[in-house]
Amino acid sequence: MAKVLIIGAGGVGNVVARKCAQVSEVFSEIILASRTQFKCDRVAAAIDKPITTAQVDADDVGQMVALINKHNPDLVLNVALPYQDLPIMDACLETGVDYLDTANYEPIDEAKFEYRWQWDYRDSFEDAGIMALLGSGFDPGVTNVFCAYAQKHYFDEIHHIDIVDCNAGDHGHPFATNFNPEINIREITQKGKYWQDGQWIEIDPMSVSMDIDFPEVGIRKGYLLYHEEEESLVQNITGLKRIRFWMTFGAAYINHLQVLQNVGMTRIDPVEFEGKQIVPLQFLKAVLPDPGSLGTNYTGKTCIGCIFNGVKDGQQKNMMIYNVCDHAEAFKETGAQAVSYTTGVPAMIGAKMMLTGQWKKPGVWNMEQFDPDPFMQALNQHGLGWKILEGKTLKQ
């Protein structure tokens, strides 16, 4: 029986609140706080368990500390934006409360994400006797757990990992992003990179692509991007020689993105407009569809997983672990499309692991550093069943 404070009432926050409410034997009290109070109230009104709501600017450590002191939660579950990670971690330190998020910190004025800023809290969290679990979404999150599971049960050494992320759904809009547009576009328009033989190899944005055959979805073009879970996995997976991350995009999405880039709408530096400073990408976010509203009439599926190559008992081995999630089914259950769903469910499961003591250790941790078995079991139990495809390689 525990009290959870959820920060952020967007697409993912809605799913987290609903999923926590379904598991009332663990989450006996839920507080949902965000920058805009009515969004919290809207989520709470759609859930048949009582949820307390609150307004907070999570960039302000003082406001976060006051909120935590008022409600005295056992865990702060951060599904606001990556910019808020550090102020929320500071507030957790000040109040001695555990922390969980789904995306690593990014400075607002530079599209650069790395764990360094949050790993710097390792000693202070350990000294305070509190825990932070980083990246408990799908990717990062479930993909890290898939890697830990493959390492524990299927390989002596994993040599190559390709994380493959496909959204084969159709939301009916000419252009929309499936999670926060600002974060999504910053991720895609920065340089890509992958890790091979001990070093990072940088590539121009979206310059490397490949047709990938996704189980239950079919062939889609995947683009090589940098993704944050690669940074921790290179440290925690035995014998790794290469790790890459691929995400699929349709031709219409790429065309829209190119035009938006060409006209300067994806810039993150402020420009002067009618006497005011505005950031073009933040303005673009304001006119694009809200990811949380995309679920209605969304058809098709997501397929996200990891393709492994390595050695077991002296033999070469290939396999894939993946999940397929149906947009319409996710919407029916939570009023959200599959991208919010596949992020919100693992966030709830990560919190459940911590609150039930199955994953509990003072310090700052990434997902693959814990026993994957109870998490894998919980995925099956809470709506994200997974499968294993033996012999699967990236090329076939």
Residues making contact with ligand NDP (CB under 6 A)? 7-13, 34-36, 39, 56-59, 79-82, 84, 102-103, 135, 137-141, 179-180, 183, 291-292, 343
Could you give the dihedral angle defined by the CA atoms of residues 242, 236, 346 and 352, in that order, rounded to the nearest 10 degrees? 170
Which residues, at least 6 apart from 62, have a Cβ–Cβ distance to it below 8 Å? none
Which residues, at least 6 apart from 353, have a Cβ–Cβ distance to it below 8 Å? 133, 359, 370, 374, 375, 378
- H helices of the chain, in order, are 11-22, 37-45, 61-71, 85-95, 116-119, 122-128, 142-153, 181-189, 229-236, 251-262, 280-287, 327-334, 338-355, 372-381
Residue number of the CB atom closest to ligand NDP:
10
In the DSSP assignment, the letter for residue 293 is G
- Which residue, 179 or 359, is less far from ligand NDP as judged by CB? 179
Q: Residue 396 CB, nearest distance to ligand NDP (Å)? A: 26
- Which residue, 159 or 325, is less far from ligand NDP as judged by CB? 325
Query: Which candidate, 82, 80, 77, places its Cα nearest to that of 114?
Result: 82
- Which residue, 27 or 179, is less far from ligand NDP as judged by CB? 179
Q: Residue 41 CB, nearest distance to ligand NDP (Å)? A: 12
Q: Residue 324 CB, nearest distance to ligand NDP (Å)? A: 15
- Which residue, 279 or 311, is less far from ligand NDP as judged by CB? 279
- Using the Cα atoms of residue 109, residue 110, residue 114 and residue 117 in order, give the sign of their dihedral: negative
- DSSP helix/strand/coil, 237: coil
Q: Residue 90 CB, nearest distance to ligand NDP (Å)? A: 13
DSSP H or E run through 54? strand 52-55
- Which residue, 103 or 188, is less far from ligand NDP as judged by CB? 103
Report whether the peptide linkage leading into residue 107 is cis, meaning its omega lies within 30 degrees of zero. no
In the DSSP assignment, the letter for residue 141 is B
- Which residue, 254 or 288, is less far from ligand NDP as judged by CB? 288
- Which residue, 13 or 383, is less far from ligand NDP as judged by CB? 13
Q: Residue 300 CB, nearest distance to ligand NDP (Å)? A: 17
Scanning the structure block, which residue is given the tokens 């091979």?
196
- Which residue, 180 or 232, is less far from ligand NDP as judged by CB? 180
Q: Count other C-beta atoms under 10 Å from residue 341's C-beta.
A: 30
Scanning the structure block, which residue is given the tokens 């997501």?
302
Q: Residue 391 CB, nearest distance to ligand NDP (Å)? A: 27
